A and B are shown apart, each in its own frame.
Chain A
Amino acid sequence: DARVTQTPRHKVTEMGQEVTMRCQPILGHNTVFWYRQTMMQGLELLAYFRNRAPLDDSGMPKDRFSAEMPDATLATLKIQPSEPRDSAVYFCASGGDGGRTDTQYFGPGTRLTVL
Chain B
Amino acid sequence: AQSVAQPEDQVNVAEGNPLTVKCTYSVSGNPYLFWYVQYPNRGLQFLLKYITGDNLVKGSYGFEAEFNKSQTSFHLKKPSALVSDSALYFCAVRDMDSNYQLIWGAGTKLIIKP
Chain A: how many interface residues by the 8 Å CB criterion?
Answer: 23
* A98-110 to B contact mask, C-beta < 8 Å, 1/0: 1111111111110
Q: How long is the Cα–Cα vector from A55 to B96 in the complex, in angstroms?
A: 14
Interface size on B, residues (CB 8 A): 21
Question: Which of the segments B12-20, B68-76, B78-86, B101-109 contacts the partner chain?
Answer: B101-109
Q: Is the CB of A43 within 8 A of B99?
A: no
How far is A100 from B42 in the complex, measured between Cα atoms in Å? 26
Instruction: Determine if A45 is an interface residue (Cβ-Cβ < 8 Å).
Output: yes
Q: What separation, in Å, do the CA atoms of A103 and B98 have in the docked complex?
A: 16
Distance (Å) between the CB of B13 and the closest chain A CB?
23
Residues of B within 8 A of A (CB): 32, 34, 36, 42-46, 49, 51, 90, 94, 96, 98-102, 104, 106-107
Q: A45-B102, A50-B99 are in contact. List 19 more A-B contacts (CB 8 A).
A: A33-B101, A45-B101, A48-B101, A91-B43, A91-B44, A98-B99, A98-B100, A99-B100, A100-B32, A100-B94, A101-B32, A101-B49, A101-B51, A106-B36, A106-B43, A106-B44, A107-B43, A108-B43, A109-B42
